[in-house]
Every structure is written in C-alpha cells, then in structure tokens.
Structure 1
Amino acid sequence: MKTILTFCMVLILGTFSLIAQDNLQDLQLTNTDTIPDFQTKAEKLKISGTIYESDGITPAKDVILYIEQADENGDFELRKKNDEKYVFHHGLIKTDADGKYTFYTFIPGNDRRYNQLKQIFPTVKVPEQKQQILPSFLFESDPMLTRKCLKRMAKKDDLTRILKPKKQDGMLVVQKDIVLQEQIAITK
C-alpha cells in the first residue's frame, strides 16, 4: 500500500513538473537556484554536485535539473500560473561547462499521515533527450527511514540516494553527484 501511495504521489507531482514544459529553452537558467522561502526556513540546506554523462567521468554540460519538495510540514503547496499547476517549493538549474550545480533549499518535512519519508524529487533533462525522473533524495537523519527500508534499498543497490548533510557555517551542506542514464537521442 505504501508503495502504491508513493508511486501515485510521484506520478501526480510529475504532472505538475515545470521541466515537462516545452518552453525550457526560453528560460535564462544558471547553475545555481534558491527554493522559495529558503531564507525563512530553520533547516537550510545547500545541495551541490556535478552531473556526469553515463560514463560517470565526463561532466554533463547544459543539463537541466529540476527539484520539487514538500514544505517543512510535509505538505506540497500547489500554485497556479498561466493555467498550469506547479509545486511552490521547486528549483531549476542548468549545469555549467563543468557539470556543476547548486541548490539552496531546506530539509522537507515528512507527511506522517501517509508514512512518507522526507524527500526531494529530482528530474533531469539532457539536450536532445527525454527527461529522466531520478530516484528521490532521502535524508539519513529521517526517523522514518527505518532499518527495514535501508535493507530493501541496499538490496537494490540504491543507498546513494540518501543524503548525509553536515553543518557548515550555520547551514547544512551536502555533495550530491549524479550520473545520467544512457539514452538514445530523440530524432526530430
């Protein structure tokens, strides 16, 4: 049941994803973005990293990374703009020539009503390819991330999605590198 709820939630949120819009090339993106309300949150978080091509070595230039997350209470605040719904706490970057990116965000809450973990939902868009929905980023300190859950993730070799932020200069900081999945280019 939990798996079905999680799947449904990701599916629903994916329909609101800004990255799904066709006009991404119109946006003036940089490799750094700040999530709305960042300054007002208690558990500020800086996520930085490098996005690599599928070989795991070559930095991926001009890749768009979109993240969305719940607020500190585990609720997804939906807004509407130009008749399109979107998650308010979201960010969008485009990697630089070295594949680097940074988000200034906060630790999301978990929705205890549905036994949901604290999660950040990432999606990437590589030029000339379809978007890739990545496994959500989880947090080592989340009390809902049980041993049983960790054991299941270890069996799937999926522990790299767990973020382990450290306190630096009054802010939580974490490095999260991403290796893209290999895809066939879209033909026009």
Structure 2
Amino acid sequence: MKKILPLMCFVCIFSFYNVLNAQNDKKSSPINDYSERPLNNTDTIPDFDSKVNKLMITGTIYENDGKTPAKDVILYICQPDEDGNYELKKDSKRKRYVYHRAWIKTDADGRYTFYTFMPGANRYVKELKQIQRIIKVPGQPEKELNSFFFNDDPLIPDLTLACRAQVVQSILKLEKKDGMYVANRDIRLEKGVPNLQ
C-alpha cells in the first residue's frame, strides 16, 4: 500500500501537468474556447445549482491607475470538484477540457462575477484549495494568473514565508451571506500585465 500512494501521487501530478500544459498552448488555451457563445460580465460554473457550498466571486478589473475600470477584459477560471479532482471531458473535436470552468468579459464598469462552489484539495497531494485563472487583455496575449486561494485553508500556516507571501496576493477572504460564500477580489492591470492587488 505504501508503494501505491506515491505512484498515485505521481500519476495525479503528471496528469494535471499535462492538462495545464495543453491549456497553456497558444492554439489550445482554454480562454479561447468560449467562441460558441457571447460573453458578459457574469458566468456560472457547471453544476453550481447542485453544490452545497456555493461561492460567488466578484470584483472589478482596473487599468494600471487602479481607478479606471478595464473594459473588454476576458477572465477564465477552472477548478477541481469538492474532492480536489479535475473532471475532464472531451468536446466535439475530441479536445480535453476541465468541466468546471467559466468565462467573463468585462463591460465599461470593469465588474466581474463568477457563481461557483468551494473546490476541494486532492487528498493524495498536499496542495492548497484553489481556482486557476487566465486573463486576456485586448491587444495582449493571454496570461496565467496566480490561482485564487482561500483564507480558511488549513495548509497555509505550513507554507514557507516566500510561498505564503505569494499566496496572500490572490487570497479570497470569505464571508457567508444568504447561505452562500462571497468573496470580493479586484484585479489591477500594470501596463497590460495583471498585478494582483
């Protein structure tokens, strides 16, 4: 049994790396997979209605001055399920994708909202609960941002100081409102490059 656990960990990490590597390929980046539908500044992750720990993530994307709302910015998120597993599916072209995903496109107010659920941490790999993000600013290539992390994650105290400083930049502070977790997180763009403040 002791030999199986490290092997399973390796397989999970290798599989997840391959999915992310394929998604980061310019031709197959998941941020470009929304083309069959128009985007607005609100989107809902699949299975949201059936999940117990519902979560709303909202905020404003600002230009580099930190005051002017950024228009026409696309923000993509994907996440594991409550058990920390990434559910993979195939589209009509047999391309694999993470099932729990969503996109927004800001309008003139720069606001965005995602309706999703609390992700879990994979029990075979000691990692933080997280929601991955990719952003696309008009006229710029897409960029992978630090994941959204959660302030109540029990693994945060175990991180090194350097890792903790990185995590804090994109941490979600959760509040419970009307039976749903709510987190507000703004994003400021630095000369077209996102700066997580």
Give TM class, smaller chain.
Answer: 0.7 to 0.9
**Residue 4 of structure 2 corresponds to which residue in structure 1?**
none
Provide the TM-score with structure 1 as the length reference.
0.84
**Residue 169 of structure 1 corresponds to which residue in structure 2?**
178
Aligned mates of 1:118, 1:77 — CA distance in 2: 15
Q: How far off its partner does 1:148 sit? A: 3.8
**Residue 41 of structure 1 corresponds to which residue in structure 2?**
51
Aligned residues: 177
Aligned mates of 1:155, 1:49 — CA distance in 2: 21
Q: Is residue 78 from structure 1 mapped to residue 88 from structure 2 by the alignment?
A: yes
**Residue 31 of structure 1 corresponds to which residue in structure 2?**
41
Q: What amino acid does structure 2 have at the position aligned with 1:171?
A: M
Aligned mates of 2:14, 2:192 — CA distance in 1: 23
What is the RMSD of the two structures over their aligned residues, measured on CA atoms?
2.5
Q: How far off its partner does 1:38 sit? A: 0.6
- Percent identity over the alignment is 48
Please, which of 25, 45, 65 is the counterpart of residue 55 of structure 1? 65
Aligned mates of 1:59, 1:8 — CA distance in 2: 37
Q: How far off its partner does 1:10 sit? A: 5.7
SS of corresponding position for 2:162: helix
Segment of structure 1 superposing worse, 132-141 or 9-18: 9-18
Please, which of 2, 13, 36 is the counterpart of residue 20 of structure 2? 13
Q: What amino acid does structure 1 have at the position aligned with 2:137?
A: V
SS of corresponding position for 2:159: helix
Q: C-alpha deviations, 1:85-114, integer Å up to 9, x for none?
A: 110000011011110010000110001211
Q: How far off its partner does 1:116 sit? A: 1.8
Which ranges of structure 2 fall in alignment gaps of 5 or more residues? 1-8, 24-28
Aligned mates of 1:86, 1:71 — CA distance in 2: 14
Provide the TM-score with structure 2 as the length reference.
0.80
